[in-house]
Amino acid sequence: MKFYKIRSYAKINISLGVLGRFYSKNHKIESLISFISLHDDIFIKKINSKSHKIVFVGKFSKQISKNNTIYNLLKILDKNKKLKNQKFLIKVNKKIPQRSGMGGGSMNAAHILKHLLNKKKIKLNSKEILEISSKIGSDVILGMKSKISILFGNGTIKQIKKNINLFTLLVKPNFGCSTKIIYKGVKNFSNKIFKKNKKVDLKYKFLLNLKNDLEVPAFKKYPALKELKIFMEKLDNVLFVRMTGSGSTIIAYFNSKETALNARKILKKNYKKYWCILSKTI
């Protein structure tokens, strides 16, 4: 049986507003989400075995828990007898850093689930897809389409056909952020920006005025993140700079590849120990 290759794209939050809390104590968020060309490579094939085999390789493969998102997905599918005793060998080349705010693990599960559905290895209706996705991670369902979307405070998703076509310079310090800890630091809630029936204008002026509410607690706990953002905001021709998710990746947005490449040279010179890579919205 041959391997199928899957590209598992990184997810970024162009904006993230914390609107309040649900009764479950989880935070109610509103976010403008995009995907970028940075991706993990996943290789999957059916095997004759009594159990699934999951292997992580690559720069960011260290210290991934055995109880990871892919393991949890296969466990749920097996428990619900959706795989009909099929077993798989899955190899993941991790190019997306862990604890970076780019949903690497969740997107791995999302793209594998999408692959199994597309290749008719499993059959699920829309309700089952949503239920299984939510058990793995709240953002897994977003990866099923990998399109720029608005996540509303009530959990509904609206896809946007238009791409913002921006180059992104991603910079991650040599530490990660705990999503749980950063959310605990949120003291104030924002008002919602997006409306379901209102057309969204993704032009520069609108994007510039958006924000990520998690920057306040993240910068308080990690002052180095604030210093990094201030430095990046001074780069030539940068449109805007924003943290994605709960961090620790800070992203600078540019109109052209050339200006982004010039900025990368400056960043690599001043932050030699930080991970820095050029990507583009898709």
CATH number (domain holding residue 134): 3.30.230.10
Residues 122 and 168 in one domain: no
CB atoms < 10 A from the CB of 201, how many? 10
Residues 40 and 175 in one domain: no
The residue-averaged pLDDT of 235-257 equals 97
Tell me whether strands 53-57 and 27-47 are parallel, antiparallel or unpaired. Answer: unpaired
Catalytic (active site) residue 11: yes
Residues 64 and 170 in one domain: no
CB atoms < 10 A from the CB of 229, how many? 19
Give the DSSP H/E element, type plus range, for residue 89.
strand 87-93
Instruction: Write out pLDDT tens, residues 52-76.
Output: 999 999 999 998 999 999 999 999 9
| Structural domain for 224, as ranges | 163-280
Instruction: Write out pLDDT tens, residues 85-94.
Output: 999 999 999 9
Q: Per the domain annotation, does 156 fall within a domain? A: no
pLDDT at 138 over 90: no
Residues 131 and 54 in one domain: yes
246 φ/ψ angles, rounded to the nearest 5 degrees: -95, 15
Catalytic (active site) residue 94: no
Domain count of the chain?
A: 2
Selecting among 94, 139, 172, 229, the annotated active-site residue is 139
Selecting among 11, 94, 172, 229, the annotated active-site residue is 11
Residues 145 and 71 in one domain: yes
Q: Per the domain annotation, does 273 fall within a domain? A: yes
- Cβ atoms 31, 17 nearer than 8 A: yes
Among 130, 151, 172, the domain-final residue is: 151
Of the pLDDT bands very low, low, confident and very high (cuts 50, 70, 90), residue 198 is confident
Residues 88 and 51 in one domain: yes
Instruction: Write out pLDDT tens, residues 7-29.
Output: 999 999 999 999 998 766 688 99
SS3 15: strand
Alpha-carbon distance of 244 to 226, in angstroms, equals 13
Residues 135 and 20 in one domain: yes
CB atoms < 10 A from the CB of 159, how many? 11
Q: Per the domain annotation, does 171 fall within a domain? A: yes
Residues 80 and 208 in one domain: no
Q: Mean pLDDT for the chain?
A: 95
Residues 135 and 221 in one domain: no
Residues 146 and 241 in one domain: no
The pLDDT > 70 percentage for the chain reads 99
Query: Looking at residue 169, what is its pLDDT?
Result: 98
Q: Per the domain annotation, does 158 fall within a domain? A: no
